[in-house]
Amino acid sequence: MINFSIIILGLVGVIILFYTRKMKENKKPIFIVSIQYISMALVIILGGYSQYQSSQEDKKYKQATLEVAVLSKVSEYFLPVIDNMAKIQNEILVIKNYLSFERAKKEHPELAVAINWQKEAGVSRVAELNKAKEAFKNIKSIAAEIIKATIQYENIIPKETIEWANFTLNIEFEEIEKYFDPYAPIGGMPNKSVLMYQENTGKAFGLVIGKIRAASNVLNQY
């Protein structure tokens, strides 16, 4: 629309210029000369605005392209996080047993030498614990990657996703029951902290996917 207006005003200016060139200087009507100058001024103004608008459109396109690239990478972490959370939950009984031994060692340091969980548990249960530890490590590694992306690309990753990543990085293995234990007392509900962490995990990645869709809609306009 702006470009069309510039063309029309340019044609008006050319026609007036052609018309006035046939007149003597003192016979040119003032209003025609005024229209000529106004047309020229409007062409300059609209041309500048068109350039500004094109620049803004280009910025929006580049920003949307960057958001899709960065957020798509973050969204790829969702399934690995869920998979590793499931691995931890599958081994939660072994984890709880191991942590109870560790707490006993801290509460009774004089018996620490005699308390050896690995020896008591056996090879298979030790392997299950190591599997859970590896899954926990993987989740924290993903959280670290999200924080790294946040530092590299400001104002792209949703605030709730960053909060989830920071929170995850601060969880110690000794606290794993508090956030990953899916079991509940008979007739009861799982710990509120477990439900909170699961909800925050879903929200963290759900917002990322929502922002990808919004950025994709911007790109589809071009």
pLDDT tens for 126-179 read 999 999 999 999 999 999 999 999 999 989 999 999 999 999 999 999 999 999
pLDDT tens digits, one per residue of 32-65: 555 555 666 555 565 555 565 656 676 788 888 8
Q: Are 196 and 168 in contact (CB under 8 A)?
A: no
Q: How far apart are CA 42 and CA 10, in angstroms?
A: 9
How confident is the model over 67-94, as pLDDT tens digits? 999 999 999 999 999 999 999 999 999 9
To which residue do tokens 């949703």 refer?
158
pTM exceeding the 0.95 threshold for the entire prediction: no
Percent of the chain at pLDDT > 90 equals: 49
d(CA 214, CA 26): 61
CA distance 111 to 63: 61
Cβ atoms of residues 179 and 92 within 8 Å:
no
105 has a pLDDT exceeding 90: no
Output the average pLDDT for the chain. 80
Instruction: With beta carbons less than 8 A apart as the criterion, state whether 71 and 208 touch.
Output: yes
Residue 197 amino acid letter: Y
Per-residue confidence (pLDDT) for residue 219, from 0 to 100: 81
